[in-house]
Structure 1
């Protein structure tokens, strides 16, 4: 009888690193987005739309996207 074949992963530690990555993703990205949606649900769709259509919000979005594009081009 031969020895049983042991299947070794080509990337050891993948499970642990994937778990840490998904935990950080949920804490940094998904949790704040969920909080925004819950807070926005209190205002209703009309209240959320009024907030989104403020000039200050559009200026912040414009600045964020412009700087993101700048960083992507020169990185």
Structure 2
């Protein structure tokens, strides 16, 4: 196989893996809270929804912050 044969498959792989990530990295938790890597990202997420963030503390294993939009 030459590179021209593999090119469409490589582009498809990039497209599929690129679409699987969330741009804002905000993840819903089981208890209804949201988790974001930083306070800034959490604030931006709530601002986009026309709300203010309510801070709930650090996420498990200190993997970010927990919050809700009010």
- TM-score normalised per structure 2: 0.33
Larger radius of gyration: 1
Whichever structure has more helix as a proportion of its residues is: 1
Whichever structure has more strand as a proportion of its residues is: 2
- TM-score normalised per structure 1: 0.31
